[in-house]
């Protein structure tokens, strides 16, 4: 579903010179899986995730999603492609002046859906995340966990093939974290949406990922498999992340 | 100066009612034109100023530098000097340099960069992540401006407009004295040149009431629009 081919991304350092955030990385993520990106702070997890929907443009290499090379697209084509790539953020990034329902409606308005279709789809998505009774509330009136559910419903609304999540539970307490992870797993299983999730916590990987890439200094150290909540790790880095959990 | 009773002062003012009404209309006209220019030209300029900043949608150091410098330049002129230096332009545009329409030219000229800065400041308060979320969902620049930036900043924009209106009520009095007419001009003409203090006091009171009403309405509307 997602192929990253020889991706490089460097940032200009404030003091001068360059910093390699992602170094010659290739990764293949299969349709329907929950794929983790794990590593310590500064490893390049967020950058790699943002390269998938081209919020960051790679300096070289190709990003192929659902058979389409995003790096070769012009701006309008890229916008259309992004409408099928949901994104969930650590800080939720909801629009404060829109109700819950209108936040979820936003990507559908952008995509030109009719009012009736939007209303129906918003109701469905609210149902999925269990917030039907909060449709007319504003984000300021919700708890962190509820805000993230709105974020997930918003990502789900345009029936995306892929949802990208950057530390979706890092701003939440452990109990809420579990319910958000359950919600993402539920969406993956019911709708077959491929989920890519960034985290620095191994327990997130254990609880919902099928596989995960372990990152360090902008490189993939290894790709681990998860079976029955057990992570089969070989590298020292993956082991130390396991111990930290 | 003859001694005046309160009753005499009231009678005086009542007799001037048509003139006062005319002055209110002139002030309204000056403000209306100035604010319209501020919204229609200063608004987009403020949005551009914001979007050309580093890290924003149309980040461009040169464009941002030139816009910012120009806005500062016009804003650094004392209003009275701006008025005088714009006399040729006013004559070109309006065909005359007296009357409320002529006074509206320098008012608009001052209002545009003023409001542009206010808009830029207001937009800066929107968290970057919210705009980024819209980008990630495939929103076009125009959709981001209208559906995200302006909607998220709407309450701050109303507050900015309130500040602008009140400042320009005072600027319009200056413009009035130099031939624009209006409430401020009336106060000066009767109160200062003809020693009719009652008229001056009444005009100042009228301005006080207008300012209070504008601020009250602005606060109400801003609060109602703010869901943060
Ligand atoms: N826009 C940018 N400009 C300059 N440097 C950047 C930029 N974005 C990221 N970096 C740098 O790239 C490196 C990787 O950043 P990234 O955000 O991908 O790390 P991360 O693994 O997500 O870390 P964290 O767990 O702290 O979120 C960091 O050293 C960061 O400082
Ligand atoms: Mg990160």
pLDDT tens digits, one per residue of A168-217: 999 899 889 999 999 999 999 999 999 999 998 888 999 999 999 999 99
Is the CB of A10 within 6 Å of ligand 1? no
How close does chain A come to B158, measured CA to CA in Å?
14
| B82 neighbors B109 (Cβ within 8 angstroms) | yes
Q: What is the CATH number of the domain that holds B150?
A: 1.10.3720.10
Domain membership flag for residue B54: yes
Separation of A204 CA from ligand 1 center, angstroms? 20
| A47 neighbors A201 (Cβ within 8 angstroms) | no
User: Which candidate, B160, B176, B159, places its Cα nearest to that of B31?
Assistant: B176
Asked if A40 reaches chain B (Cβ–Cβ under 8 Å), the answer is no
- Strand-pairing partners, residue A25, are A7
Range of the structural domain that residue B69 is part of:
24-183
Domain membership flag for residue A140: yes
Domain membership flag for residue A122: yes
Most informative mutation of A41, A46, A216 for ligand 1 (most atoms within 8 A of CB): A46
Range of the structural domain that residue A143 is part of:
95-155
Grouping H, G, I as helix, E, B as strand and the rest as coil, residue A67 is coil
> What integer is the mean pLDDT of A134-163?
96
Residue B199 has pLDDT above 90, yes or no: no
Domain membership flag for residue A110: yes
User: Which candidate, A200, A201, A162, places its Cα nearest to that of A184?
Assistant: A162
Token pair recorded at residue B208: 């006080």
Could A93 and B129 be called an inter-chain contact, meaning their C-beta atoms sit closer than 8 Å?
Answer: yes
Residue B3: predicted pLDDT: 57
User: Which candidate, A189, A182, A186, A192, places its Cα nearest to that of A162?
Assistant: A192
Q: Which residues 6+ apart lie within 8 Å of B112 measured at CB?
A: B37, B38, B41, B42, B45, B74
If 0-12 CB within 10 Å is exposed, 13-18 middle and 19+ buried, where does residue B212 land?
exposed
Domain membership flag for residue B11: no
Residue A245: predicted pLDDT: 58
Average pLDDT, chain B: 91
- pTM assigned to the model: 0.90
Determine which helix (DSSP H) or strand (DSSP E) holds A48, and give its type and residue range.
helix A45-52
Domain membership flag for residue A151: yes
Determine which helix (DSSP H) or strand (DSSP E) holds A122, and give its type and residue range.
helix A115-129
Domain membership flag for residue B132: yes
Domain count across chain A = 1
Average pLDDT, chain A: 93
Among B133, B142, B226, the residue to mutate for chain A (most A Cβ within 10 A): B133
Give pLDDT tens digits for A23-82: 999 999 999 999 999 998 999 999 999 999 999 999 999 999 999 999 999 999 999 999
Atom of ligand 1 nearest to the CA of A39: 21
Q: How confident is the model at residue B202 (pLDDT cuts 50, 70, 90)?
A: confident
Could B134 and A85 be called an inter-chain contact, meaning their C-beta atoms sit closer than 8 Å?
Answer: no
Residue B186 has pLDDT above 90, yes or no: no
Residue B2 has pLDDT above 60, yes or no: no
Domain membership flag for residue A53: no
User: ipTM of the predicted structure?
Assistant: 0.92
Q: HSE (CB half, 13 Å, CA atoms) of A221?
A: 20
Domain membership flag for residue A208: no
Domain membership flag for residue A111: yes
Most informative mutation of A17, A19, A22 for ligand 1 (most atoms within 8 A of CB): A19
Residue B1: predicted pLDDT: 46
Is the CB of A200 within 6 Å of ligand 1? yes
> Order of strands, edge to edge, in the sheet holding A2-12?
A18-29, A2-12, A60-65, A68-69
Percent of chain B with pLDDT over 90: 62
Give pLDDT tens digits for B98-135: 888 888 999 999 999 999 999 999 999 999 999 999 99
Lowest mean pLDDT among A84-88, A115-119, B79-83, B219-223: B79-83
What is the C-alpha to C-alpha distance for residues B159 and A96, in angstroms, rounded to an integer?
A: 17
Domain membership flag for residue A28: no
Domain count across chain B = 1
Domain membership flag for residue B13: no
């Amino acid at each position: 579903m997602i192929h990253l081919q020889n991706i490089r991304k460097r940032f200009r350092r404030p003091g001068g010179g360059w910093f390699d955030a992602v170094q010659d990385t290739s990764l293949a993520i299969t349709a329907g899986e929950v794929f983790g990106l794990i590593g310590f702070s500064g490893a390049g997890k967020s950058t790699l995730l943002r390269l998938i929907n081209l919020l960051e443009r790679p300096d070289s290499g190709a990003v192929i999603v659902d058979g389409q090379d995003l790096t070769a697209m012009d701006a309008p084509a890229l916008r259309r492609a992004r409408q099928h790539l949901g994104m969930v953020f650590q800080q939720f990034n909801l629009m404060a002046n829109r109700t819950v329902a209108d936040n979820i409606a936003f990507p559908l308005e952008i995509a030109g859906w009719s009012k009736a279709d939007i209303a129906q789809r918003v109701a469905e998505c609210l149902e999925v995340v269990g917030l039907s009774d909060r449709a007319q509330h504003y984000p300021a009136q919700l708890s962190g966990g509820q805000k993230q559910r709105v974020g997930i419903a918003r990502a789900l609304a345009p029936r995306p093939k892929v949802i990208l999540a950057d530390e979706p539970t890092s701003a939440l307490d452990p109990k809420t974290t579990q319910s958000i992870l359950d919600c993402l797993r539920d969406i993956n299983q019911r709708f077959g949406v491929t989920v890519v999730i960034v985290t620095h916590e191994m327990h997130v990987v254990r609880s919902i990922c099928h596989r995960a890439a372990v990152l360090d200094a902008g490189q993939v150290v290894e790709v681990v498999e998860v079976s029955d909540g057990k992570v089969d790790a070989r590298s020292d880095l993956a082991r130390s992340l396991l111990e930290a959990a | 100066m003859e001694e005046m009773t309160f009753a005499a002062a009231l009678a005086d003012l009542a007799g001037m009612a048509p003139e006062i009404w005319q002055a209110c209309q002139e002030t309204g006209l000056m403000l209306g034109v100035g604010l319209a220019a501020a919204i229609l030209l200063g608004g987009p300029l403020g949005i551009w100023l914001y979007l050309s900043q580093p890290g924003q949608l149309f980040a461009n150091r040169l464009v941002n530098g030139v816009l910012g410098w120009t806005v500062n330049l016009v804003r650094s002129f004392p209003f009275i000097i701006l008025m005088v230096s714009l006399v040729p332009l006013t004559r070109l545009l309006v065909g005359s340099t007296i009357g409320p329409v002529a006074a509206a030219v320098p008012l608009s000229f001052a209002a545009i960069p003023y409001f542009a800065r206010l808009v830029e400041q207001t937009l800066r308060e929107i968290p970057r992540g919210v705009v980024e979320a819209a980008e990630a969902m495939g929103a076009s620049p125009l959709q981001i401006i209208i559906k995200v930036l302006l909607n998220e900043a709407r309450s701050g924009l109303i507050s900015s407009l309130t500040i602008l209106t009140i400042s320009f009520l005072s600027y319009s009095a200056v413009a009035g004295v130099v031939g624009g007419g209006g409430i401020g001009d009336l106060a000066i003409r009767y109160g200062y040149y003809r020693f009719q203090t009652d008229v001056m006091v009444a005009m100042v009171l009228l301005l006080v009431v207008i300012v209070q009403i504008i601020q009250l309405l602005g606060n109400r509307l801003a609060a109602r629009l703010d869901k943060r």
